[in-house]
């Protein structure tokens, strides 16, 4: 698995978890969904993704986006 696929998988997992917690526990968990979405939005323009940087340090191979 490369960095791109890992970032998308992690972002998708966080979104699903925060939506579930927002529905089941407390609506403030939807803030995590907004944070993930904003981070993905800024990464599209700046090409800077903190998770991609971290995964690169752990030795994952970069894909075409990161």
Give the separation between CA 37 and CA 61, rounded to whole angstroms.
24
Question: Could you tell me the pLDDT band of residue 66, with boundaries at 50, 70 and 90?
Answer: low
Task: Read off the pLDDT of each residue in 8-17 and give the average, rounded to a whole number.
Answer: 97
Number of domains in the chain: 1
Q: 34-61, pLDDT tens digit by residue?
A: 999 999 999 999 989 999 999 999 999 9
Q: Is residue 63 domain-resident?
A: no
Q: Is residue 12 domain-resident?
A: yes
Q: Is residue 30 domain-resident?
A: yes
Q: Is residue 10 domain-resident?
A: yes
HSE-up (13 A, CA, CB side) for residue 21: 12
Q: Is 3 helix (H, G, I), strand (E, B) or coil?
A: helix
Give the separation between CA 32 and CA 16, rounded to whole angstroms.
10
Domain that holds residue 41: 3-57
Mean pLDDT value across the chain: 94
Contacts of residue 65, defined as CB under 8 A and 6 or more positions apart, other chains included, come to 4, 47
């Amino acid at each position: 698995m490369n960095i791109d696929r890992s970032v998308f998988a992690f972002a998708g997992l966080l979104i699903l978890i925060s939506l579930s917690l927002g529905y089941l526990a407390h609506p403030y968990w939807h803030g995590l969904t907004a944070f993930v979405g904003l981070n993905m939005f800024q990464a599209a323009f700046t090409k800077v993704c903190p998770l991609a940087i971290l995964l690169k340090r752990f030795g994952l191979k970069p894909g075409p986006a990161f």
